[in-house]
Amino acid sequence: GEDVEQSLFLSVREGDSSVINCTYTDSSSTYLYWYKQEPGAGLQLLTYIFSNMDMKQDQRLTVLLNKKDKHLSLRIADTQTGDSAIYFCAVSFNSGNTPLVFGKGTRLSVIA
Amino acid sequence: DAGVIQSPRHEVTEMGQEVTLRCKPISGHDYLFWYRQTMMRGLELLIYFNNNVPIDDSGMPEDRFSAKMPNASFSTLKIQPSEPRDSAVYFCASRRATEAFFGQGTRLTVV
User: pLDDT tens digit string along B67-97?
Assistant: 999 999 999 999 999 999 999 999 999 998 8
Q: Residue A9: its pLDDT value, please?
A: 96
Percent of chain A with pLDDT over 70: 96
Q: Residue A40: its pLDDT value, please?
A: 87
Q: Across chain A, what does the average pLDDT equal?
A: 92
**Neighbour count for residue B103 (Cβ, 10 Å):** 25
Percent of chain B with pLDDT over 70: 99
Q: Which residues of A touch B103 (CB under 8 A)?
A: 42
Q: What is the Cα–Cα distance from A39 to B46, expressed in whole angstroms?
A: 22
Q: Which residues of B touch A33 (CB under 8 A)?
A: 100
Could A42 and B105 be called an inter-chain contact, meaning their C-beta atoms sit closer than 8 Å?
yes
Q: Residue A93: its pLDDT value, please?
A: 76
B38: nearest Cα among B96, B111, B88? B88
Under 8 Å between Cβ of B19 and B108: yes
Residue B49's DSSP bridge partners are B32, B54
Residue A101's DSSP bridge partners are A91
Query: What average pLDDT score do residues B52-57 get?
Result: 95
Q: Residue A72: its pLDDT value, please?
A: 96
Q: Across chain B, what does the average pLDDT equal?
A: 95
